[in-house]
């Protein structure tokens, strides 16, 4: 079973791609909505939360872990890969690979949470001839979790964040947070249609495909499971419109009442 976690709804952008390619693979998803956002927290806190989330997914029977969160990929994935024997997929390396393949002028932007940008996880993956321009967008995650993806207030905030990237002549922009594909329209409207937006989910699915070719998984044709750490109704509503089908979401306290 494939275990996926994010701080909230963002990991569903990854679920969507994986389900397109592997409709019969059972997923268990955990959205840590009670402790969201991760992107404004410290390295040690993000690492601790991530370890707890992975512990829960393993208890649920996951044999592959997808860290569907850039913030956790930057701060926890290296440590998780060292400590655990099961395969851990993060979202940073697929995005880097896709951006390098997409750019024509080697000028690449990356936007993400403050914790992702401060970690330098993306910046250190690029050297000459690539030029990388980064920008933290702390309010994007709360806006998306609030489903404010097309409001004029969101456009105004996005303009403020993206302004430093305009004029840098980037032709490729990495959406360095799994929530951000939900703002693709807004970002395209501000940056221009010609700027290629990179969403790591497709490239990550290719990595998963390569892995599963060598290590096929037994297919459990049971329903996917979705868990959140806070009141499920908002997640349920957003996920229904986002995935195009209703999902049943259960609230769980991963630290006490593992169910
Ligand atoms: N989707 C997470 C990411 O990719 C959002 C982190 C947050 O909760 O701030 O970084």
The Cα–Cα gap between 202 and 18 comes to 8
Domain containing residue 45 = 2-90+202-257
Identify whether residues 159 and 212 lie together within a single domain: no
Low-confidence stretches of the chain (pLDDT beneath 50): 259
Ligand 1 pocket mutation pick from 10, 146, 201 by most atoms within 8 angstroms of CB? 10
**Nearest-5° angle of CA 255, CA 143, CA 44?**
40
Please report the pLDDT score of residue 9 as a whole number.
Answer: 92
Atom of ligand 1 nearest to the CA of 71: 10
Identify whether residues 82 and 19 lie together within a single domain: yes
Greatest extent of the chain over all pairs of C-alpha atoms, in Å: 52
CB 56 within 8 A of CB 251: no
Atom of ligand 1 nearest to the CA of 91: 4
Please report the pLDDT score of residue 66 as a whole number.
Answer: 98
Identify whether residues 160 and 195 lie together within a single domain: yes
Identify whether residues 110 and 181 lie together within a single domain: yes
Whether 177 is a known active-site residue: answer yes
Please report the pLDDT score of residue 259 as a whole number.
Answer: 47
CA-wise closest residue to 204 among 174, 165, 227: 174
Q: Phi-psi region for residue 244, left (φ > 0), alpha (ψ -120 to 50) or beta? A: left
Q: What pairs with residue 31 in β-bridges?
A: 6, 228
CA-wise closest residue to 159 among 188, 117, 118, 181: 188
Identify whether residues 85 and 30 lie together within a single domain: yes
In what helix (H) or strand (E) does residue 203 lie, and over which residues does it extend?
Answer: helix 200-214
CA-wise closest residue to 106 among 86, 88, 132, 83: 132
Identify whether residues 194 and 98 lie together within a single domain: yes
Active-site residue, from 2, 4, 67, 69? 69
As for how many domains the chain has, the answer is 2
Under DSSP, the state recorded for 41 is S
Q: Give the dihedral sign, CA 242/111/170/198.
A: negative
Please report the pLDDT score of residue 241 as a whole number.
Answer: 73
The Cα–Cα gap between 99 and 84 comes to 29
Please report the pLDDT score of residue 257 as a whole number.
Answer: 57
């Amino acid at each position: 079973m494939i275990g996926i976690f994010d701080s909230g709804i963002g990991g569903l952008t990854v679920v969507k791609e994986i389900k397109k390619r592997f409709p019969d693979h059972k997923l268990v998803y955990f959205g840590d909505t009670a402790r969201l956002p991760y992107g404004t927290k410290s390295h040690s806190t993000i690492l601790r939360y991530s370890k707890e989330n992975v512990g829960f997914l393993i208890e649920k029977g996951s044999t592959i872990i997808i860290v569907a969160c850039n913030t956790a990929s930057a701060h926890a994935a290296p440590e998780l890969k060292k400590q655990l024997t099961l395969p851990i997929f993060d979202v940073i390396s697929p995005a880097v690979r896709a951006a390098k393949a997409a750019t024509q002028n080697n000028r690449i932007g990356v936007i993400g949470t403050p914790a992702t940008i401060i970690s330098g996880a993306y910046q250190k993956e690029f050297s000459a001839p690539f030029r990388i321009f980064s920008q933290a967008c702390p309010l994007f995650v709360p806006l998306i979790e609030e489903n404010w993806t097309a409001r004029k207030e969101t456009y105004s905030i996005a303009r403020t964040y993206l302004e430093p990237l305009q004029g840098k002549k980037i032709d490729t922009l990495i959406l360095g947070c799994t929530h951000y594909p939900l703002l693709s329209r807004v970002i395209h409207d501000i940056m221009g249609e010609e700027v290629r937006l990179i969403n790591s989910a497709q490239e990550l699915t290719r990595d998963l495909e390569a892995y599963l070719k060598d290590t096929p998984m037994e297919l459990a044709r049971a329903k996917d499971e979705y868990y959140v750490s806070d009141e499920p109704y908002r997640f349920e509503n957003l996920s229904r419109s986002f995935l195009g089908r209703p999902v049943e979401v259960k609230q769980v306290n991963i630290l006490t009442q593992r169910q």
